[in-house]
Structure 1
């Protein structure tokens, strides 16, 4: 009987995201169950070539690896890079000014147990495969992105259809082009914590999953938290987020979009500033359309994660989200948000930002 009780307790812990933090110290949410490349071989990326010995593509081509970097700069992709299962990508190991990829998709499709930290993924229109996303984790499991920077996604910035146990935390998801979508999540459960979402048409995120959405900042949206009137029944903990309109916002009330009666929502401590006057002074906005209103969080860990108020989250996220040290693209994203409604564009081409290196910024 005791053995069975321990087994049930362990399963419940996995479901609720309360298991030990395997990904790294401080990892949170459902993706924290990922073991990444723990215990595997340390492999160092020694050049910025698209392929070959010492390249990033070669380093991620086999499982059970911890990927470090001895070089800094952009890796210009000639084709999508497919990650292997059971790997950890330590972008923070790169020398200043950091490491990233541009002009192609990073794919974890069909893989499991992947940890990516302090890494830049900038697809942009140099990628001629317009049906690709900046980061794709479709049909994957146990994935965590932390302090990453995702920009210029064509299909989606982040695609997570049929993805199980994922966390996107402390990251910047900015300036999607093409479809101009932030993130598409189906499957779950998913945790989205402490992220900065900048200038997207929609899907910040689109979530057809049981989801924790905590301490996010969304700026210059046309539609922010979206369920797309799905026929599925899902639960959503939406806590202490700040929605801020910008010049591209056509309907300020679309901070919650297409929330139907099949969705169960615990919304608490969320603010929206819809004045576009350069001053942050929002009002509480916790009405979630026709969704079923929950009296308590659907997941018992959500309230504990929501340590910051929406205002505190604004300060913290703008100070520390994204890959470190901040590069030209992320600095531009943050400075855009700080105008608090005065500036912001939903782009169709990264070059339109006016940043160096054709809009990709220089690493």
Structure 2
């Protein structure tokens, strides 16, 4: 079902927003949005489209909502459980996929016959995706293309509070193919348990994140924020970074736990790149080789290109309960390419590294206030990082497989205006029995009704 206010009222609302909203509400996707992707705004004022079933395709499916032809919209879920995919879902422009609206334990994406990444954002812009579990698993035939999420030639993208496991290539990939990737945020997410000896044709291939992989010529890739995420149980790519001089790539307040061979690897293969690496914690674990690598290894392989790194307030060591280890933050090349630390401005707020583990592990992944949506697999990964448990795996069965997400009754929306009855009952001026304009703003508020509802569910307010 689609809910679209009359065009005249939408235009009037948008004009009012532009004229009167303070910068905090007007200029970012939602309260608390951070990083270079925070200005993904073009979905505002659009249709509210219900995802009413767990089918791979067809009316009421996530695929039908995500393939929007660029028409602004918000995808809201009236269903919970696992969506089995036979092909990737390509996400269009000007869209907010609001996983926090799913009842019960939320929405899990898993490959069935697909041999590609479940969720791909290609040649799209102004996209927000939050509160989903994306766990593809081994492909039915060998494939080098099974991440959890891939961005390609995409701009103004915000990814937040995602749980990503069971990829057979890197878990998260930003790719540029003769185009431009810029203004991207990945925040508050879990990237864990990528499969090592699985269905990737290269063999052992448990990888975390690959930032600015590339093909073709004239590529531009930068202005990317990787903040407040947990990387756990990957062989390497924690993360691997390339980039160009369009703007820095920020790696801020992340926890990197239990790689086999390497933490972060930064390269000059795409162009001159500046990387800001601050407030991170790198922890060895049960799978980490005895000769623990530095948290950051810089490799310069092109004569006329350079990696510049600003590194500050980072910590290394072993997870609590592991045998103590000492290793450096920077390898010799990284030390030689270090640039002076400034006070910013950075695109995301920073806290000290001594607070990173607690702050990240208490908020990361597909969870909302009261730990709604938090499932057994995410609990396991978080506990691993706290207690020196777990290891890099080859199959999902080694950690109990995919959690079963029960189907629960959807929220009730009697008047079918996109806003659930409980929100309308609790909000002065709204009625669950009479359709209201979900994009109208209550007096004195900087947010529309639908933005307020989404923010309350997510814990943004």
TM-score, normalised with respect to structure 1: 0.86
The answer on 1:185 being equivalent to 2:211 is yes
- Rate the CA distance shift 1:20–1:30 in 2: closer, same or farther, 3 A: farther
Q: Do the aligned residues in 1 keep the contact of 2:263 with 2:293 (CA within 8 Å)?
A: no
Secondary structure at the aligned position of 2:332 is classed as: coil
- Rate the CA distance shift 1:287–1:150 in 2: closer, same or farther, 3 A: same
- Rate the CA distance shift 1:337–1:311 in 2: closer, same or farther, 3 A: same
Q: Do the aligned residues in 1 keep the contact of 2:51 with 2:61 (CA within 8 Å)?
A: yes
User: Which residue pairs with 1:57 in the alignment?
Assistant: 63
How far apart, in 2, do the equivalents of 1:125 and 1:149 lie?
17
Tell me the CA shift for residue 157 of structure 1: 0.9
Q: Do the aligned residues in 2 keep the contact of 1:265 with 1:288 (CA within 8 Å)?
A: no
Choose the corresponding residue for 2:352, options 294, 309, 313. 309
Tell me the CA shift for residue 258 of structure 1: 3.4
How far apart, in 2, do the equivalents of 1:299 and 1:211 lie?
13
How far apart, in 1, do the equivalents of 2:382 and 2:74 lie?
31
Q: Do the aligned residues in 2 keep the contact of 1:267 with 1:288 (CA within 8 Å)?
A: no
- Rate the CA distance shift 1:21–1:151 in 2: closer, same or farther, 3 A: farther
The answer on 1:253 being equivalent to 2:259 is no
Tell me the CA shift for residue 224 of structure 1: 1.6
Q: Do the aligned residues in 1 keep the contact of 2:97 with 2:130 (CA within 8 Å)?
A: yes
Q: Do the aligned residues in 1 keep the contact of 2:316 with 2:329 (CA within 8 Å)?
A: no
How far apart, in 2, do the equivalents of 1:45 and 1:61 lie?
12
- Structure 2 residue runs without a partner (length 5+): 1-23, 213-220, 368-372, 406-461
For 1:199-223, what per-residue CA distance to the aligned partner results, in whole angstroms no more than 9, with x for missing partners? Answer: 1111121111231111100000121
Secondary structure at the aligned position of 2:108 is classed as: strand
Choose the corresponding residue for 2:341, options 286, 296, 300. 296
How far apart, in 1, do the equivalents of 2:154 and 2:142 lie?
21
The answer on 1:149 being equivalent to 2:174 is no
Tell me the CA shift for residue 283 of structure 1: 6.9
User: Which residue pairs with 1:211 in the alignment?
Assistant: 249
How far apart, in 2, do the equivalents of 1:113 and 1:76 lie?
26
Q: Do the aligned residues in 2 keep the contact of 1:101 with 1:121 (CA within 8 Å)?
A: yes
Q: Do the aligned residues in 1 keep the contact of 2:295 with 2:329 (CA within 8 Å)?
A: no
Secondary structure at the aligned position of 2:333 is classed as: coil
How far apart, in 1, do the equivalents of 2:343 and 2:241 lie?
15
Q: What does 1:69-88 align with in structure 2 at a 5 Å threshold?
A: 69-88=77-96
Tell me the CA shift for residue 348 of structure 1: 2.1
- Structure 1 residue runs without a partner (length 5+): 1-17
The answer on 1:30 being equivalent to 2:36 is yes
Q: Do the aligned residues in 2 keep the contact of 1:60 with 1:83 (CA within 8 Å)?
A: yes
Secondary structure at the aligned position of 1:157 is classed as: strand
Q: Do the aligned residues in 2 keep the contact of 1:242 with 1:310 (CA within 8 Å)?
A: yes
User: Which residue pairs with 1:5 in the alignment?
Assistant: none
How far apart, in 2, do the equivalents of 1:71 and 1:119 lie?
13
User: Which residue pairs with 1:12 in the alignment?
Assistant: none
- Rate the CA distance shift 1:120–1:297 in 2: closer, same or farther, 3 A: farther
How far apart, in 2, do the equivalents of 1:280 and 1:215 lie?
24
User: Which residue pairs with 1:339 in the alignment?
Assistant: 387
User: Which residue pairs with 2:308 in the alignment?
Assistant: 264
Matched length: 337
Tell me the CA shift for residue 314 of structure 1: 0.2
Deviating more after overlay: 126-135 vs 215-224: 126-135
How far apart, in 1, do the equivalents of 2:241 and 2:105 lie?
33
Q: Do the aligned residues in 2 keep the contact of 1:237 with 1:297 (CA within 8 Å)?
A: no
Tell me the CA shift for residue 173 of structure 1: 0.5
For 1:50-90, what per-residue CA distance to the aligned partner results, in whole angstroms no more than 9, with x for missing partners? Answer: 11111111111113110000111111111111111111000
Q: Do the aligned residues in 2 keep the contact of 1:30 with 1:142 (CA within 8 Å)?
A: yes
User: Which residue pairs with 1:230 in the alignment?
Assistant: 269
How far apart, in 2, do the equivalents of 1:298 and 1:111 lie?
33
Tell me the CA shift for residue 323 of structure 1: 0.4
For 1:232-285, what per-residue CA distance to the aligned partner results, in whole angstroms no more than 9, with x for missing partners? Answer: 2211111111100012112323311234482111111111113x6606988794
Tell me the CA shift for residue 131 of structure 1: 2.5
Q: Do the aligned residues in 1 keep the contact of 2:298 with 2:307 (CA within 8 Å)?
A: no
Deviating more after overlay: 31-40 vs 135-144: 31-40
How far apart, in 2, do the equivalents of 1:19 and 1:231 lie?
36
User: Which residue pairs with 2:105 in the alignment?
Assistant: 97
- Rate the CA distance shift 1:128–1:229 in 2: closer, same or farther, 3 A: same
How far apart, in 2, do the equivalents of 1:207 and 1:322 lie?
22
Q: Do the aligned residues in 2 keep the contact of 1:243 with 1:271 (CA within 8 Å)?
A: yes
How big is the alpha-carbon RMSD for the aligned residues of Structure 1 and Structure 2? Answer: 2.4
Secondary structure at the aligned position of 1:333 is classed as: helix
